[in-house]
Chains A and B, each alone.
Chain A
Amino acid sequence: MSDAAVPFRTPREERPPRLSRPARGFRGQPMVQLTLVRFREFIREPEAVFWTFVFPILLAAGLGIAFRQKGLEQLQVGVVARPGADTALVAAMRRDSTLVLRSYDDSAGALALRTGKVALLVIPGATRDSIQYVFDRGRSEAGSARLVVDRAVQAGAGREDPVRASDSYVTETGSRYIDFLVPGLLGMNLMGSSIWSLAFAIVTARNKKLLKRLMATPMSRYQYLLSFLFSRLFFLIVEVVTLVGFGYFAFGVPLRGSLAGLMLIALMGAVSFGGLGLLCASRARTVEAVSGIANFVMLPMWVFSGVFFSSANFPEVVQPFIRLLPLTAVNDALRANMLEGASLAAVSPQLLIIFVWGIVSFFAALKLFRWR
């Protein structure tokens, strides 16, 4: 304002003391404050903490325990009791410790088979030299039950093995279900927490007109978006350490690759999913709308990207598309690092896919972003 300007009213008081930004110290910097806000909003939401940190551990623990006994699995077998049946047959089956026998009458036996209570139903024949096995060939444990039961029956009836075999048992870490599962859960968790934390925080701020209010300050938009990625960085370390640490100490899940490589894969994955989260949140005005969008984006990856079972189960024609999904790339890279000890160079195709998804979604989000 020029000196010629005559104030409408003469100031009665002195100007209040002003603080320049450097005088406010490290904590007074906008980037620090914006990141701190992200932290505070997250840790003051107990549900968010549960879903991000506790839930994956509970899931890993539950599934790990359920599938731990895989090698010593016992086979449930039903025997249809007939009056005058051969007791020697049943006694022969009882000698095999992998078989758990239950006896049924005709209809109860059929029901037990249908409901999956038993894998195989044994129906002794009218004479001593015949026997019938009822089972579903599509069930993998039914096939093994058929083999084990038949071996016991034949041996009981006097068959001699021409070749003497001896078994020695090993447990190969790295090939168990839990070893497959932990990297997959980590990838899924990185995706979920990146997408949900960004999508909810941004859409809530937009819905409450807080975003518009922030736009009315000199705040830098770039710093605002960057603060989300910075706070993800910290939570990422916590997520990786808790889940991988739990797998390592509770189940002996191997960590054969370099830890730095593992962190880099997780970091790239989290930032890339952050871009995807930003894209999900770029237009939506309500939390309901963004929930729909985020689920729509994540659902195909939960199914196809090999979290709980290998994506190799899907037909060959769709494999190229599955490999291009960001979660597939993250899961493959994490598994290669943890289970095979692969170097970063070996997983560079996956890292490239992750990088491209991150860049494309981040710039698409910036282009589409509704700031008001």
Chain B
Amino acid sequence: MVTPSAALQVTGLRKSYGDVVAVAGLDLEVRTGECFGLLGPNGAGKTTTIEICEGLLASDSGTVLVLGKTWETESQDLREQLGIQLQDTQLAEKLTVDETLTLFQSFYREARDVGDVIDMVELGEKRFARVGTLSGGQKQRLAVACAMVGDPDLLFLDEPTTGLDPQSRRQLWDLISGFQAEGKTIVLTTHYMEEAERLCDRVAIVDHGRVIALGSPGELIDQVDMSHLPPPEPRKTHATLEDVFVSLTGRTLRDE
């Protein structure tokens, strides 16, 4: 059923790179105002799906409705309404935090104040420092700030906390929660189950280019069949989302 309040509606999405099928008929619906997690092992098709939704990649087939619009007809409007953080962008090292955000701000018809955004990501002390001098966590927060400066209605975050220390990670969690509290929608990918459990209203687990499980973290945890998993450690009282993840996608390590 198509809900009018769907922030993102993906139906029958397919994308192949030569012989490699990255997305194999994926369906997804993200409601307005929720924080939605896209989980899955490396190579499951998460980034490809997200980049198609962001209008950076063309799909082979399937439909994508973002905020009720399609990339074919309203791409310019969509760019104004989306905030995007990509997995491996390196911002210009020679520019300062303030200059970088002012540049990104200038691209948007309506935008937030650069100082406000800097305060929001707690980079006030680094405002006039060059990007090259920032730590990994600070760079990541700047990347999220660049995604937020256009005051988006929908925020895509691709592994925003990968490689960060627990403190930086929690800081980003607060940032994401604060953004959601403004009624905005977030779609994020992560490899950290604790993060998904904590931040996401609903998650979809993706493998081999399809959604293989969908629901709130609590629902998924309740559904999991623990019988074929190794016995939990004695201290554990209930299954975690990590158990769901491992029971669905297997225990073998996969590297891209």
Contact = CB atoms under 8 A, between A and B. Distances in A.
Interface of A: 1-2, 4-13, 15-21, 24, 27-30, 32-34, 36-37, 40-41, 44-45, 205, 208-210, 212-213, 215-219, 372
B34 to A, nearest CB: 4
Contacts of B79: 216-218
B4 A18 contact: no
B183 A9 contact: yes
Nearest to A5: B5
A8 B82 contact: no
Given A210-B90, A212-B86, A217-B104, A17 B56 contact: no
Contacts of A40: 94-95, 99
A317 B105 CA distance: 56
A40 B183 CA distance: 37
A19 B31 contact: no
10 contacts: A15-B182, A16-B116, A19-B111, A24-B111, A32-B106, A44-B94, A209-B90, A217-B150, A218-B76, A218-B150
Given A12-B181, A218-B107, A208 B89 contact: yes
B95 A17 contact: no
Contacts of A36: 99, 103
Given A9-B34, A209-B89, A217-B108, 10 more contacts: A5-B32, A7-B5, A9-B180, A9-B183, A17-B113, A18-B112, A28-B102, A36-B99, A208-B90, A217-B150
A216 B54 contact: yes
Contacts of B34: 8-9
Interface of B: 4-5, 31-34, 54-56, 67-68, 76, 79-80, 82, 84, 86, 88-92, 94-95, 99, 102-113, 116, 146, 150-151, 180-183, 201
Contacts of B55: 216
B89 A5 contact: no
A209 B181 contact: no
A37 B95 contact: yes
A217 B107 contact: yes
A264 to B, nearest CB: 31
A9 B34 CA distance: 7
A21 B67 contact: no
B112 to A, nearest CB: 6
Contacts of A372: 56
Contact of A8 (B5, B106, B150, B151): B5
Contacts of A30: 106-107
B91 A41 contact: no
Nearest to A28: B106
B94 A41 contact: yes
